[in-house]
């Protein structure tokens, strides 16, 4: 299957820029400060798949010196428009040569692996990201859970795509964001937890911690599935000892 970036599209980039960290998305980022405080030493960071720079700016707000990288020029253009003093770079797919080897305490991957097909493709990218880590560096990989594609959420709907229920690892699944103006569904790649663990191992990474945040139900939000079913997995990864 050829790799295609869903967000390499001006209309989609503009719509994605409409999102904030509310709704279902807040559960992806709510616990990030605590996770980073517990697992990351140092402040040098790269945001892999930075998109319009939302997650890059989150890291900078937490005190990280952050480089945002993405293969989509359309997304990086928006990021630079919001944050002209930020460091946002367009890179070729899988090319990390412009970044210092062993130069980062943190690599944040905020959803790019939802759109990257194939075990070997994922392994190759994680192997490259592992090479960017300082000796005690960590990768924080935020991805959709398998359950997100078969339930209803504050920020997403999957009810029009019942075929998602039969998905297996590597299949294309459809999900539509309800909180921006682009009504087209996103094509994600279905990738369950056990298959991510195999990817990490083959890339020379170990899973140090996995978080699956739920909504408390006590915050006044009109949640749908979020109080009982986790929409996201947050993996803290470190390099295996060689």
Residues 66-89: tens digit of each pLDDT: 999 999 999 999 999 999 999 999
Q: Which residue in 157, 190, 158 sits closest to 172, CA to CA?
A: 190
* DSSP 8-state assignment for residue 240: P
Q: In sequence order, what are the residues at sequence separation of 6 or more whose Cβ sits closer than 8 angstroms to the Cβ of residue 71?
A: 5, 8, 90, 91, 92, 93
Q: CA 112 to CA 203: how far, in whole Å?
A: 17
Beta bridge partners of 66: 45
Q: Identify the residue whose tokens are 């990490």.
A: 200
Q: Where are the domains of the chain?
A: 10-146+192-239
CATH class of segment(s) 10-146+192-239: alpha beta
> What tens digit of pLDDT does each residue of 21-47 get?
789 999 999 999 999 999 999 999 999
**Three-state secondary-structure class, residue 47:** strand
> What tens digit of pLDDT does each residue of 190-213 get?
999 999 999 999 999 999 999 999
CA distances from 100 to 129, 132, 218 (A): 11, 7, 44
Answering whether pTM is above 0.75, one says: yes
């Amino acid at each position: 299957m050829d790799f295609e970036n869903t967000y390499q599209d001006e209309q989609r980039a503009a719509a994605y820029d409409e999102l904030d960290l509310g709704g279902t998305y807040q559960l992806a980022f709510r616990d990030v400060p605590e996770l980073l405080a517990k697992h990351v030493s140092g402040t040098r960071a790269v945001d892999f798949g930075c998109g319009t720079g939302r997650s890059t700016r989150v890291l900078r707000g937490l005190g990280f010196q952050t480089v945002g990288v993405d293969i989509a020029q359309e997304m990086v253009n928006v990021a630079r428009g919001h944050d002209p003093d930020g460091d946002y770079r367009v890179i070729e797919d899988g090319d990390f040569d412009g970044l210092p080897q062993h130069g980062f305490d943190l690599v944040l991957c905020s959803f790019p692996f939802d759109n990257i097909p194939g075990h070997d493709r994922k392994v190759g990218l994680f192997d490259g990201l592992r090479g960017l880590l300082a000796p005690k560096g960590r990768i924080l990989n935020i991805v959709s859970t398998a359950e997100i594609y078969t339930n209803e959420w504050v920020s997403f709907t999957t009810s029009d795509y019942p075929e998602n229920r039969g998905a297996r690892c590597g299949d294309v699944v459809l999900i539509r964001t309800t909180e921006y103006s682009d009504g087209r569904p996103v094509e994600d790649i279905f990738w369950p937890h056990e298959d991510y663990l195999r990817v990490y191992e083959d890339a020379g990474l170990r899973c140090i911690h996995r978080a699956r945040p739920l909504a408390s139900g006590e915050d006044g939000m009109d949640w749908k599935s979020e109080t009982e079913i986790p929409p996201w997995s947050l993996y803290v990864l470190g390099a295996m000892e060689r």
